[in-house]
C-alpha cells in the first residue's frame, strides 16, 4: 500500500527542528486565558508541550488552540495516529485513531503549517502495515520532529518496530512509546535490549506501564494506576538512570498520578532525572478550565514538586528544546 502523500498545495513549507529552537522562545499573541492558565505574567516563561493530538476525543481545532493558550503553552508538538486498519496491531480496528479519535499525519502537518509559530508535528504509522516506513519518512522529510505516538499492539522488539528505530536513527529523531501492559508495545521488561542495540536513538517513555514502574515494588502489571507510596528504583527509574538515550514524557493521567501519589518521592525523582523528563499534556479537555484540565494540573505539579526553579525550567522547556534540536 503506497504512503498517503500530502497534496502538492499543502507541501509549501518544510518545518525544521532548527526552527523549533527559535519558535519555542516566542510567546503566543496575547496573555494566557483564564481557567487553566498557570501564570499571570504578560510575558510568561515559555512552555513546550511534547504531547498533543488533533481531533482528540473529537475536539475542534479552534478549541485546541484556545486550550493550549489557556495552559500557557508556547510550542506544541502534535502526535498523529496511524492509518485506520483492522489488524492485530490495532486490535481489529478498536485502537484506530490512537483509541482517541486522533487524526493522522496529514491533519497534524496541515495544522502545524497553519500555525507555524506555535505548533510542530510528529510522524506516525501502524508499524507492521505495508509502506509504514515510507509513510513516516514522507513526513520526516517535511520536518516532523519525532516518530510518535507509537501506540500499537506489537512487540517492542519486533522486526517492524526495529525498522522504525532504524529510520529514527537515520533521521536523528526521537521515538515516543506508549507503554500499556498487554495492550500496547509488548515486552517493556526487555526493552533494554533495544536501548542497547540503538544507542543513537532517543526513546521517550509514556503511559501507564511506564509510570507505574517507577515503583520498585510494582508487582501486578495489570494495575495501571497504582496508588500509594513509591519505592525508588523501579524499572522505569533504571532505564532513565542507566541509558543515556531513554527519556520520560510526564503527560496524561498516568504521569500526573506518578507525580502526585507519593509527595515524599516526587522531589527526589525530579532531582535525579532532571535532564531526562519533559512536560507533555496529552489532555483532551475541551474547555481548558481550572481543575478539569489535566494538562494544567501537570504543570502545577511540576511547579510544586521541582526542587528548584532551574529544574522546573528544564522540565517545562529546556529539556525538550535540547532534545528536539538538530
Q: Look at the chain and report how many structural domains it folds into.
A: 1
- Beta-bridge partners for 278: 249
Domain annotation covers residue 5: no
What is the Cα 147 distance to its own chain's centre? 10
- Three-class secondary structure of residue 249 per DSSP: strand
| pLDDT for res 233 | 96
Domain annotation covers residue 266: yes
Residue 58, all three cell numbers? 473529537
Domain residues for 96? 15-323
Q: Where are the beta strands (DSSP E) in 13-87?
A: 48-52, 75-78
Residue 82, all three cell numbers? 496511524
CATH number at residue 164: 3.20.20.140
Domain annotation covers residue 10: no
d(CA 71, CA 30): 13
Instruction: Count the Cβ atoms, other than its own, within 10 Å of residue 220.
Output: 9
Does position 10 have pLDDT exceeding 50, yes or no?
Answer: no
Domain annotation covers residue 6: no
Exposed e or buried b per residue across 293-311, where buried means at least 16 C-beta atoms within 10 angstroms of its C-beta: bbbbbbbbbbeebbeeeeb
- Beta-bridge partners for 177: 150, 205
d(CA 267, CA 304): 9
What is the Cα 158 distance to its own chain's centre? 22
Domain annotation covers residue 3: no
Domain annotation covers residue 8: no
pTM: 0.89
Domain annotation covers residue 265: yes
As a whole number of Å, the end-to-end CA separation of the chain is 31
Q: Which stretches within 130-226 are classed as H helix?
A: 132-141, 159-171, 192-197, 208-212
Confidence of residue 71 (pLDDT cuts 50, 70, 90): very high
State the angle between helix axes of 159-171 and 132-141 in degrees (0 to 180), rounded to the nearest 10: 20
Q: Encode pLDDT of 26-64 as tens digits.
A: 333 333 333 344 444 456 899 999 999 999 999 999 999
Domain annotation covers residue 9: no
Q: Encode pLDDT of 89-141 as tens digits.
A: 999 999 999 999 999 999 999 999 999 999 999 999 999 999 999 999 999 99
d(CA 50, CA 251): 9
Q: Encode pLDDT of 53-62 as tens digits.
A: 999 999 999 9
- Beta-bridge partners for 120: 77
Confidence of residue 290 (pLDDT cuts 50, 70, 90): low
d(CA 33, CA 38): 10
Amino acid at each position: 500500500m503506497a504512503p498517503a502523500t500530502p497534496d502538492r498545495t499543502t507541501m509549501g513549507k518544510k518545518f525544521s527542528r532548527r526552527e523549533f529552537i527559535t519558535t519555542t522562545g516566542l510567546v503566543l499573541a496575547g496573555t494566557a486565558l483564564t481557567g487553566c492558565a498557570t501564570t499571570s505574567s504578560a510575558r510568561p516563561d515559555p512552555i513546550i508541550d511534547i504531547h498533543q493530538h488533533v481531533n482528540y476525543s473529537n475536539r475542534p481545532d479552534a478549541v485546541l488552540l484556545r486550550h493550549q493558550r489557556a495552559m500557557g503553552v508556547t510550542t506544541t508538538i502534535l502526535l498523529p495516529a496511524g492509518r485506520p486498519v483492522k489488524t492485530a496491531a490495532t486490535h481489529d480496528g478498536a485502537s484506530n485513531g490512537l483509541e482517541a479519535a486522533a487524526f493522522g499525519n496529514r491533519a497534524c502537518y496541515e495544522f502545524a503549517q497553519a500555525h507555524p509559530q506555535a505548533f510542530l508535528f510528529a510522524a506516525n504509522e501502524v508499524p507492521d502495515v505495508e509502506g509504514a516506513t515510507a509513510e513516516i519518512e514522507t513526513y520526516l522529510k517535511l520536518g516532523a520532529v519525532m516518530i510518535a505516538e507509537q501506540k500499537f499492539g506489537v512487540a517492542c522488539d519486533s522486526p517492524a518496530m526495529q525498522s522504525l528505530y532504524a529510520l529514527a536513527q537515520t533521521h536523528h529523531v526521537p521515538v515516543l512509546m506508549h507503554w500499556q501492559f498487554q495492550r500496547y508495545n509488548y515486552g517493556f521488561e526487555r526493552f533494554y535490549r533495544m536501548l542497547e542495540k540503538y544507542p543513537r536513538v532517543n526513546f521517550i517513555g509514556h503511559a501507564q506501564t511506564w509510570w507505574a514502574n517507577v515503583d520498585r515494588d510494582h508487582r501486578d502489571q495489570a494495575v495501571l494506576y497504582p496508588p500509594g507510596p513509591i519505592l525508588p528504583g523501579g524499572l522505569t527509574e533504571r532505564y532513565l538512570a542507566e541509558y543515556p538515550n531513554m527519556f520520560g514524557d510526564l503527560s496524561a493521567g498516568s504521569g500526573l498520578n506518578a507525580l502526585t501519589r507519593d509527595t515524599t518521592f516526587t522531589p527526589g525523582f525530579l532531582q535525579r532525572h532532571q535532564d531526562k523528563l519533559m512536560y507533555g499534556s496529552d489532555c483532551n479537555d475541551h474547555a481548558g478550565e481550572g481543575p478539569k484540565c489535566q494538562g494544567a494540573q501537570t504543570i502545577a505539579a511540576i511547579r510544586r514538586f521541582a526542587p528548584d526553579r532551574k529544574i522546573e525550567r528544564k522540565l517545562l522547556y529546556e529539556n525538550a528544546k535540547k532534545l528536539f534540536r538538530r
